[in-house]
Structure 1
Amino acid sequence: MGVYGQDWASYQSATPDTTGLSFAFIKVSQGLTYTNPEWTAQRDHARAAGLVVGYYHYPEMANSWQQEADRFLSLAQPQAGELVCLDWEGYDTANEGVSHADQLGYKQNWLRYVKGRLPHNPVGLYCNTDYWNNVDTTGYVQDFLWIATSGRPAGQPGISANWLFHQYSDSGDMDQDYCNLGSTDALRSWALGFAPPAQPAPPTGPAWPGEDLSLRQPLLHDANVRTWQQRIHDRGWPITVDGWYGPQSKSVCEQFQQDSSAHGWPLTVDGIVGQQTWNATWQRPVS
């Protein structure tokens, strides 16, 4: 059992009824000049309804695929867990003069390029069975196939290829779609699976004690020195954890400051554990 959705363009209102829906694909652009005037309102409406959102571009394949892709990407800017798709069909006057070989080349290049620009979002292909069976020769869809077979039951597109979405009806004033995943959460989890893993927040560590740790006479000896030495030792620096800020501590501090600056965390190299060096000891990623 799958879930249901719709695809929206300017023919639909800015706020279609989302009852019973899990996802919506929204037309953003066509060719090099057209933008769906409703797309941002439709996007906000779909997000507010908790739908998984996808965006698609309709090509005019006599144009540069890269220019069209760049324009689409400048508009869509999907969030993590949102999908993008090429609506690959060419029955209109803008495409009917483009050879099938060039249409295929457009599809291949557009998908690869957009995936390179959006490595952490699902990128897929929409087409009908005519294009799938008679124009495509590669089976390349990038991350997912959205197949259109008007008049066939939902979830039964009648093709052997792996598909994720099925547009099973384009009658009336709304295209109806089906996803073969079992729930909205399953679809959302699949889409989010392309995002990079969340990076753990850097440890904040204890607050700076309010005094510089430095080489002095008599030598500084206290719990703050020991705390800093323990942390720097845990980071892999060879240092004796004894609470005394002697020549060894100053030398290690200078080395840590130099290394931090070399790794994009600039510190003054002075051998003094001031507030910036203290905080970096805990917050800078271990290199």
Structure 2
Amino acid sequence: MLHGIDVSSYQSSDYSTSGLGFVFVKATESTDYVNPEQSAQASHGRAAGLVVGFYHFLRPGSMTAQASYFVERCVSAQGDVLAADWEDTGVSCADKDAFLREVKRLRPQHRVVLYCNRDFWLDRDTTSYVCDGLWIADITTAGSPRVRHPWVFHQYSSSGGVDRDVADFASTAALRAWAAGSGPAPEDDMARWITGTVASGDQPTVVLVPHGTAWSSLPNRRLHLGLDVVGDRSASASVRVAAHNGSGWRVSDHTVTAASGTVDVDLTNEDEKVSLQTSGTGVSYAIEIW
């Protein structure tokens, strides 16, 4: 994982860059605020070799107007990441979707991501639309946010007066390549994520697990199980996981709850298929491959 921070006018423009690979700088808010420190803060990050991103704090109002305001006043350059900061309860899920789409339309050459906290993601989001990626805020272990959706950035702490993040990349070069849209594309038979829902009942849901590609002959694989039950975060479901390694099955039972994020099962040594069975409803799966 790659470490980074996000800053606004509350932080200085000469923040420490030691051990960091990226920085997000607040650019704008609504249609009447520009961070007076954004140019200096971005330049400081660039001088240290960091990947730079900018975010706009969403407020109620016209999403089209806010998107235009953001991209016109943001001091972004090619290869910078652009983000929507969704924290205001007066901004609906439809609003944030509209903002993301408009920013992407205006700046198609940039990666555009959604920032929100875990409560917004679980309780207010209804579409799972994140444009190019999710930046999730969840105060927990770095790199282990309690959501099942694939994420790109994780804000895990606010210690020392600054928000601290990690990115799901092994190096600054890898993040820079992704931000520029030039990261290696997976082969057709090796998707980074395999996702779906687990059918309720006696009939198991069977998922074929890829063996590898030119990028990795023996990839790491992890199964993430989650539960979506609208309005009942205490709901739970039992899931039986049977993983086949080519010669036999390994069976394990797991309980997932709506409010506790994902249950993770390592699949690295199971290279044939996975069978999932549950009597509950709302269970989904995501197999991560890297």
TM-score category by the smaller chain?
A: 0.5 to 0.7
Letter in 1 for 2:181: G
Deviation track 1:177-226 (CA, whole Å, cap 9, x = no partner) reads 0011100000001111269xxxxxxxxxxxxxxxxxxxxxxxxxxxxxxx
Moved more, 154-163 or 102-111: 102-111
Q: Secondary structure at the match of 2:160?
A: coil
Residue number in structure 1 paired with 2:148: 160
Structure 1 residue ranges without an equivalent (≥5) = 91-95, 196-287
User: What letter is aligned with 1:73?
Assistant: V
Which secondary structure state, in structure 2, belongs to the residue aligned with residue 20 of structure 1? coil
Identity of aligned residues (%): 44
Distance 1:13 1:75 in 2: 20
Structure-1 separation of matches of 2:124 and 2:96? 11
> Does structure 2 retain, via aligned residues, the 8 Å contact 1:181–1:187?
yes
Find the partner of 1:85 among 83, 86, 99: 83
Distance across 2 between alignment mates of 1:158 and 1:40: 34
Structure-2 residue corresponding to 1:32: 31
Contact in 1 for aligned 2:100/2:113 (Cα 8 Å): yes
Secondary structure of 2:161's counterpart equals: coil
CA-CA distance at 1:80 after TM superposition: 1.7
User: Which 4+ runs in 1 deviate beyond 3 A?
Assistant: none
More helix by share: 1
Provide the residue aligned with 1:193 in structure 2.
181
**TM-score with structure 2 setting the length:** 0.61
Contact 2:38 2:75 in 1 (8 A): no
Relative to its length, the structure with more strand (as a share) is 2
Gaps of 5+ in 2: 184-290
Q: RMSD of the alignment, in Å? A: 1.3
CA distance in 2, matches of 1:31, 1:132: 21
Counterpart in 2 of 1:211? Answer: none
Q: Measure, in 2, the Cα distance between the counterparts of 1:46 and 1:5.
A: 10
Report what 1:176 is aligned to: 164
The number of residues matched between the two structures is: 183
Matched, 1:134 2:123: yes
SS in 2 for 1:44: helix
Task: Return the alpha-carbon distance in structure 2 between the equivalents of residues 192 and 66 of structure 1.
Answer: 25
CA distance in 1, matches of 2:158, 2:110: 27
Distance in 2 between the 1:51 and 1:22 partners? 5
In the alignment, the residues of structure 2 paired with residue 80 and residue 145 of structure 1 have an alpha-carbon distance, to the nearest angstrom, of 20
Choose 1 or 2 for highest CA Rg.
1
For 2:93 and 2:181, the matched residues in 1 are separated by: 28
Q: How does 1:1-287 map to 2 (within 5 A)?
A: 2-61=1-60, 63-90=61-88, 96=89, 98=90, 103-150=92-139, 152-193=140-181
TM-score by length of 1: 0.62
In structure 1, distance between residues paired with 2:112 and 2:182: 10
